[in-house]
């Protein structure tokens, strides 16, 4: 039944794509999760992941063509540079360095690049282009489609035993056919990102979607309060279910949601900067953190494997840092070379800042962090300036996902994976779209007018009503 509903939702997305091309974003964001559950019904797809990537790429190309035919207002100059500049510079630096260092000769490194390349093209470049060309309401509708697909994928993973490779709850795995051969492997974190997106969209986007269908709902106080608590309960339940599938991703997702919530308020960043380190140190030194972890292991046995994984990765990180520190001045600047950990140690360190520093040096790490940090700040400004509406809800979701990607980069993934750059680019485009209305109105007011009707100009906010036209009688009177 869930499979049929999933097919129906995907079909509905394809139908709506012809009038709203940004709907294809729902397929791009969920294509990896959809492939993980397709192993039971479409084994040929899981045996060749590039088939699904190619199918999604064709749909994205059609969506880009439809978007170009529709035509949209041009973004302010410099928007592409803000969104893509750092990412393109980083990948150009990374791949050029890899070619000079002959890293592509290593089979494991080449395989990693081939697996990541579709996401660089589809998520970082194509998907963000569609986001930039869409209206806030269209984007919110696309995220609601993403929510439906994510919910069905998680539901199938939890209820269908045929997609599991583990026999009991403590060894829950999804079946996965590896790229190299036809053997079945395990991928315990395959649906972590799908589940996190489901939680974030439920919290930030779905209330606006519900209100758009039922505009009078906020007027009924008890109903609005009931739905608010139901939403929070659903987010908590989703966190518990995804914690059963993955490891620490739901905890990091909740932390990212809290950070986003605080940063939407004045002084929220300063409060977090002071409170988070203090609370963390207090929890560690008091033993509360270890006690809480032990309690979680009793409830979720899969977390018991964390200690072993942490010890292995810690040894790997220590060895990398020792070799990096003893490499001389040129190594400090440019690192040991892309793919060094894979080629020499057989595994990347699952800590992207450490991997970036040791393999690309201070130069590579500087290039990598400039864009995401600046665009996180742009997202914060966007949340401050748009207090409600679709712009605020979309920005809250993408800000949460960028924060989550930054947090999760400390425990998994390789530096070439584009997740952080993707969410960062989306925020840059959303911020640029919020700056699209004409600012020339402010330039005409060189001196404050004494006329009451001209002195009381409403402050323009992102997501609010745009500035008045210059040819209106009011502006003609103000300029005169």
**pLDDT beneath 50: ranges in the chain:** 167-171, 176-186, 267-268, 273, 437-480
CA distance 310 to 316: 10
Residue whose entry in the numeric block shows the structure tokens 């966007």: 382
Residue whose entry in the numeric block shows the structure tokens 């439920």: 202
Q: What is the pLDDT of residue 146?
A: 96
Q: By C-alpha distance, which of 197, 118, 107, 212 is closest to 152?
A: 197
pTM assigned to the model: 0.81
Q: By C-alpha distance, which of 1, 25, 6, 3 is closest to 150?
A: 6
249 contacts 242 by C-beta, under 8 angstroms: yes
Q: What is the pLDDT of residue 366?
A: 94
31 contacts 53 by C-beta, under 8 angstroms: yes
Q: By C-alpha distance, which of 124, 57, 56 is closest to 418?
A: 124
Q: What is the pLDDT of residue 281?
A: 54
415 contacts 388 by C-beta, under 8 angstroms: no
Buried b (16+ CB within 10 A) or exposed e, 299-337: ebebbeeeeeeeeebeebbeebeebbeebeeebeebbbb
Q: What is the pLDDT of residue 266?
A: 54
Residues in contact with 312: Cβ distance below 8 Å, sequence separation at least 6, in sequence order = none
Q: What is the pLDDT of residue 479?
A: 37
């Amino acid at each position: 039944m869930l499979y049929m509903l999933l097919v129906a939702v995907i079909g509905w997305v394809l139908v709506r794509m012809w009038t709203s091309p940004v709907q294809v974003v729902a397929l791009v964001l969920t294509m990896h999760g959809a492939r993980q559950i397709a192993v039971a019904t479409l084994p040929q797809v899981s045996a060749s992941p590039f088939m699904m990537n190619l199918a999604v790429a064709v749909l994205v190309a059609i969506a880009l063509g439809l978007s170009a035919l529709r035509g949209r207002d041009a973004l302010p100059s410099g928007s592409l540079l803000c969104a893509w500049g750092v990412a393109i510079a980083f990948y150009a630096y990374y791949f050029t360095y890899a070619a000079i260092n002959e890293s592509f000769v290593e089979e494991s490194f080449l395989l990693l690049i081939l697996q990541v390349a579709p996401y660089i093209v589809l998520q970082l470049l194509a998907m963000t282009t569609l986001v930039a060309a869409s209206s806030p309401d269209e984007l919110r509708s696309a995220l609601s489609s993403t929510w439906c697909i994510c919910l069905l994928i998680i539901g199938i993973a939890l209820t269908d035993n045929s997609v599991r490779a583990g026999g009991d709850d403590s060894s829950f795995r999804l079946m996965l056919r590896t790229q190299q051969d036809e053997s079945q492997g395990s991928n315990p974190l395959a649906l972590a990102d799908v589940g996190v997106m489901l939680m974030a969209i439920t919290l930030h986007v779905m209330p606006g979607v519900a209100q758009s269908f039922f505009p009078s709902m906020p007027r009924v106080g008890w109903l609005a309060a009931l739905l608010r608590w139901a939403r929070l309960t659903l987010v908590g339940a989703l966190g518990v279910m995804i914690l059963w599938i993955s490891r620490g991703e739901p905890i990091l997702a909740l932390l990212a949601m809290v950070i986003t919530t605080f940063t939407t308020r004045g002084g929220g960043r300063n409060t977090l900067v002071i409170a988070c380190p203090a609370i963390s140190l207090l929890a560690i030194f008091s033993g509360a953190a270890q006690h809480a972890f032990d309690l979680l292991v009793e409830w979720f046995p899969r977390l018991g494997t964390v200690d072993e994984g942490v010890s292995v990765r810690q040894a790997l990180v220590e060895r990398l840092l020792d070799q990096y520190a003893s490499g001389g001045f040129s190594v400090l600047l440019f690192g040991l070379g892309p793919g060094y950990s894979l080629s020499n140690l057989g595994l990347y360190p699952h800590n992207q800042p450490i991997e970036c520093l040791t393999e690309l040096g201070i130069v590579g790490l500087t290039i990598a962090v400039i864009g995401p940090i600046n665009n996180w700040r742009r997202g914060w400004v966007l949340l401050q300036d748009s207090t409600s509406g679709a712009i605020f809800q979309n920005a809250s979701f993408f800000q949460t996902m960028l924060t989550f990607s930054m947090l999760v980069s400390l425990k998994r993934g390789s530096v070439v994976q584009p997740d952080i750059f993707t969410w960062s680019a989306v925020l840059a485009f959303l911020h640029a779209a919020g700056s699209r209305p004409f600012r020339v109105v402010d330039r005409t007011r060189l001196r404050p007018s004494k006329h009451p009707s001209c002195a009381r100009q409403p402050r323009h906010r992102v997501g609010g009503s745009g500035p008045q036209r210059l040819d209106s009688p009011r502006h003609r009177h103000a300029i005169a």
